[in-house]
Chains A and B, each alone.
Chain A
Amino acid sequence: MSTQDDKAKEVSADGVAGPIILFFILGLAASLVFGWIIFPKLLYSQKKQPIDFNHVLHVEAVEEGCESCHFFREDGSFSGIPKLEQCVDCHEDAQGEDPNEIKFVEEYVANGREVPWLVYARQPDCVFFSHAAHVKKAEMDCGTCHGHIGESEHSRVYEENRITGYSRDIWGKNISGLKKHTWERMKMDDCAECHATKEIGTDVETLPWPINWLPRPYEKQTGNQARVKTVKEACFVCHK
């Protein structure tokens, strides 16, 4: 056996190195193409919204910006995507010739059927998210998490992860999981970016810690809801 191996080694040293490197590169290239281009296409299914919605048009027509349609109810809960009931205020009859408008009025308004909108920002069931805490208390902009959706003229394609069933917006458009803006990803780490690091309105008492250059080990909570930074003990803040 060893003798055969020796022979093979000699052969490879002579003239087979070329093909080996070639095949190595071929394999490398193929996997790169598959991993970066084909895989994302296979991973996500593409779904169209039932109605192509023009945010620009609506934002112009309403007075209070996002909150005109995406408002808080009196119990502090957030309405999310409007119900038919709110749309009907203006869209009892078709306004204009747009086929989407006609489809909306004929299929949904006329039958009193809710539009099965696909929610780009839908979080899994284990997540508790309070719009009130973020928008009312912390006075954050919708765009911080939702981006420039209010400036869109058409509904984007909704991409659903075939394994998890999540919207692609959760992982982010960038398949490598990198993001440039706060609204490009909505995973736990992204929430944690504020909750674990930003000491906005902190209400904690840092325990004595002798070594100043080392990060502080543990912060004792003394206050209440006022702060953003959540330490290890705060799972229930975002989970249910």
Chain B
Amino acid sequence: MKEEGKHKKAKKYGMVINLDECTGCGACMVACMAENNVPFKEDESNKLDSIAWMRVYKLTNGKSYPEADICYLPRPCMHCEGDHGHSPCVSVCPATATDYSHETGIVSQIYTRCFGCRYCMGACPYHARYFNWWDPVWPEGSTKYLSPNVSPRMRGVVEKCSFCFHRYQLAMDKAYFEGRTELEEDEYQTSCTQACPAGAITFGDLNNPEHKVHQLAKPDNKHGGRPGNPNVFRLLERLGTNPKVYYMSSREWVRRAGDNYLDNEDFAKNYRR
């Protein structure tokens, strides 16, 4: 059963987002909503209950006019692996409605299993998990554009970014049909990656040195996947969540905004722990 040597490495799908190129246009948010049947309601201006698997944050450098600067930061689910092998949200779910796949590195969310305790939301420091406070209602006729690849969620369950896992499934279907078991880099891309007009998002297998994400982030798997590229950082790296979304910025204040630092801390020295 164990055929040593024949094993291919498990995949670890991840993302590198170039914050220098990101324009904050919000296309990723909408591409995600359109792809994943995300519901909407009359008023979405309260961002505390507005479902956006991908949310673009606006960061400011805290300086006064005219030294002020802003930067946008798109935040999908980080698909944390966790330093100790468990992502913050997966281990807390009481009903096994979310899990971490070692095959793809993707954190799933099974809506029919979830009973809405919201513990995972409390566990996630990125606020990447959203609760369906309302039953989703589409205006008359609008259910026509719902995609059959993603099941619409009901009231009372948690949902989040899946790295468009259904696209992986569909790509695998095609691969199987063609007698393959491996995917090409461009065969599986998330909706946001594809839509980004600035081309700021790169998606692929972080374990595969041929993939662009690996080349950009240079993840060090021996040390919780921390980036080898000095311009690359991850959000809240210090918590040990081992996220799979990497950010790239040439601006130090942006990189510093990725995590908490004590005032007297030497950022350059410490930012990767």
A–B in direct contact per CB < 8 Å: yes
Give chain A's interface residues, CB within 8 Å of chain B.
72, 74-77, 124-126, 128, 130-133, 136-137, 199, 202-203, 205-206, 220-226, 232-237, 239-240
Task: Return chain A residues, CB-CB under 8 Å to B173.
Answer: 75-77, 130-133
> In the assembled complex, which residues on chain B have CB atoms less than 8 Å from the CB atom of A221?
10, 101-103
B83: interface (CB < 8 Å) = no
A-B contact pairs, 19 of them (CB 8 A): A72-B177, A75-B174, A76-B170, A76-B172, A76-B174, A76-B178, A77-B173, A132-B173, A133-B173, A137-B181, A203-B3, A221-B10, A223-B7, A224-B11, A225-B172, A233-B103, A235-B96, A235-B110, A239-B112
Contact of A128 among B96, B106, B166 (CB under 8 A): B166
Of B9, B99, B177, B181, which is within 8 A of A222 by CB?
A: B9
Which residues of chain B are within 8 angstroms of A232 by Cβ–Cβ distance?
96, 99
Contact of B175 among A76, A131, A206 (CB under 8 A): A76
Q: How far is the CB of A189 from chain B (nearest CB, A)?
A: 15
State whether B113 touches A74 (Cβ < 8 A): no
Most buried by B among A74, A221, A235: A235
Contacts of A128 in B (CB 8 A): 166, 169
CB-defined contacts of B176 to chain A, threshold 8 Å: 76, 130, 132-133, 136-137
State which of B1, B113, B172 has its C-beta within 8 Å of the C-beta of A235.
B113
Q: Which of B133-180 contact A (CB under 8 A)?
A: 149-152, 162, 165-166, 169-170, 172-179
B67-102 interface (Cβ within 8 A of A): 96-102
- CA–CA, A216 and B65, complex, Å: 63
The reply to whether B102 and A239 contact each other, CB–CB distance below 8 Å, is no
B267 at the interface (CB under 8 A from A): no
Closest to A223 in B: B7
A126→B178 contact, CB < 8 A: no
For A202, list chain B residues within 8 Å (CB): 1-2
Q: How far is the CB of A29 from chain B (nearest CB, A)?
A: 39
Please indicate the chain A residues that have their CB under 8 angstroms from the CB of B162 in the complex.
236
B-side contacts of A239, CB under 8 Å: 108, 110, 112-113
Cα distance A152–B10 when bound, in Å? 44
B222 at the interface (CB under 8 A from A): no
Please state if A130 and B169 are interface contacts (CB–CB under 8 Å): yes
7 shortest A-B CB distances, which residue pairs? A76-B173, A76-B177, A76-B174, A221-B102, A236-B108, A132-B176, A132-B173
The residues of B that contact A237 with a CB separation of less than 8 Å are 101
- Is B111's beta carbon under 8 Å from chain A? yes
Rounded to whole angstroms, the CA-CA distance of A234 and B103 in the bound complex is: 8
Extra contacts, 5 of them, besides A76-B174, A223-B8, A234-B101 (Cβ < 8 A), are A126-B151, A132-B174, A136-B179, A221-B10, A237-B101
Contacts of B101 in A (CB 8 A): 221, 233-234, 236-237
Q: Would you list which residues of chain B between 154 and 211 have a CB under 8 Å from chain A?
A: 162, 165-166, 169-170, 172-179, 181-182
Most interface-central of B101, B113, B177 (chain A CB within 10 A): B177
Residues of A near B111 (CB, < 8 A) are 126
Q: How far is the CA of A38 from the CA of B98 in the complex (A)?
A: 40
CA distance in complex: A220, B2 (Å): 12
Chain A residues whose CB sits within 8 angstroms of the CB of B100 once the complex forms: 233
A232 to B91 CA separation, bound complex (whole angstroms)? 12
Nearest to A200 among chain B residues (CB) is: B1
Q: Evaluate contact between B108 and A226: CB separation under 8 angstroms.
A: no
Candidates A136, A199, A222; contact of B7 at CB < 8 Å: A222
> Are B1 and A136 in touch, CB under 8 angstroms?
no
